[in-house]
Chain A
Amino acid sequence: MIASLPRPAWLRTATVLYVAAFLVFLFLPLVIVGVFAFNDANYPAPPWRGFTLDWFTGSAATGRVGLFHDTELLGSIWTSLIVAVWVTILSVTVGTANAFLMERYRFPGKQVLSVLMLTPLVIPGVILGISILSFSSRVAELADDLFGLDLDFLRPGLPLVVLGQFSYIATIATLMISARLKRFDSTLEEAALNLGASHAAVLGTITLPYLRPALIGSAAISFLMSFENFNTTLMLVGSDAPLTVMMYGRMREGASPVLNAVSLFLMLASAALALTMMRGGPRTEAAKSAAAQ
């Protein structure tokens, strides 16, 4: 029952217990990951054998390779960062163009296009991955047969990973930027034009500054979603594994606490990003699209 109606004591107790249990369910896996990054044992498992920083700094005595010396893992973080930067640039640029296209222009086929723009969200990531994989390899084949061109970037590898992630993250950027552009008061632009400003000046001094929060927000979400993507990436990855794929591979072999150490960093980075974006009221729009796939 709602707060303004009398609630029996048992219901209040049950509510508190439920919320508590729910929060434990939500945070227990994350807390456990963080705690075992500091356990002085070779596997992330109980019992607790004392506090150590070996899994970050490494230790010559025990032969443990810490996160800061694990070149393979550090390399995969770097790969993920590069992929995420490209995906962010592409998604925000195309998303902005799409927002202007859909909010400002009329053209034949607009309805079809607006539905088509949403479809990447309903296609499972695995299928996005295999369809792009098979199409790009077909194009590479054709280029080879017809022109004798060797288009290496169309083989599984980072360029395809970028394209695969971009193919659905662009939809999210488009939705976020369109939502803000829709609320824009176009009389502001008209006023500036009437006062003699050029169209380029109006765009640069009025429209884009107004869109800034949405541009920054969609950039942050695009970056995060790219960094965390697994399904699509798995199908398109070549020899350079991004972090999620690398972690998956190691988890299947039996994880060492180095993975806990890197996870702790990921959690801190995500928390910092989340808190920055949620300041000034929860921006659900951004937060809710964050965790996809």
Chain B
Amino acid sequence: MFEAIFLQFLNGLDKGSAYALIALGLTLVFGTLGVVNFAHGALFMLGAFCAVLFRQLLTLETVTIDPTQLSPWGAPLEVRAPLVQAWFGDFGAVLVNYSVPFSIILTIPVMLVVGIAFERGIIKHFYKRPHAEQILVTFGLAIVAQEIIKSIFGANPIPQPMPEAARGAADIGIWLGMQANVITYPIWRLIYFLFAGVIIGGVFAFLQFTTFGMVVRAGMADRETVGLLGINIDRRFTIMFGLASVVAGLAGVMYTPLLPPNYHMGMDFLVLSFVVVVVGGMGSLPGAVAAGFLLGILQSFASMTQVKAIVPGIDQVIIYLVAVIILLVRPRGLMGRRGVMEA
């Protein structure tokens, strides 16, 4: 039984990593700009497609016809050779093998530019408008981004292989002094969890230990006063929007080996992430992270056979059930500021 519970706990941490990363970006935007950003899921999706694009560039091929061999339908065989391996030899093969982690290098600048373009181009015009209008415009933005990706990459999921070294499962049971094969967990999911920890830690450290972060935190607490001190808080908040986009994008990149990306993947996560933000507390960064992991773990435990034998289908509704209870009992969320979302 311990093994089953431990596995579900790991699974919850893994799920929670994705929820926490997306919710963190959402909360950053809400906390700094006060915007309810429904395009945040689209940023997660755009990040994932940065990985797709990077791999497609790396796997461009030359095609030659070999008349000595025939295809199953009797035509001369097409022989395909990857360009990057022809140019760089073994290093090219390594690049292709590690295309997902390497695509982070492309994703960071792309998502920063995309985020800043979103904010400067459209969202800034809606700062003083009601939340309903912000939701509408950002939702529209998400649909436009989806359709652009669909027209370029098609509607089907595009599998992204993980590096060979990260395929298969790690025998965690042995690390804990158990027998072999008692507790095994996919290596890439462990990597994703660690990666999420590094990103979350990095964002918190950036806000906590840098002057820029200190100004942003001051702006989140009292925007007007910071402005009166002669600091251009709007510019910093724009950069924070870019940073939130990078966080969402990186979450998307590293998720691609777990779930082949498609144009709709952002929407699948968006609703869950809003629930996470509401449970954690609107505007609370630690709340978003804590709620992400908490809900991931709860969802994972709810999917245990023993639990479902008592309450069938509970795994599908547990997150929303918790959200309803939180909204009824503590409307500002677990770690939200007093007064936020409270009448």
A and B: real partners? no
Query: Which A residues fall within an 8 A CB radius of B?
Result: none
Query: Which B residues fall within an 8 A CB radius of A?
Result: none
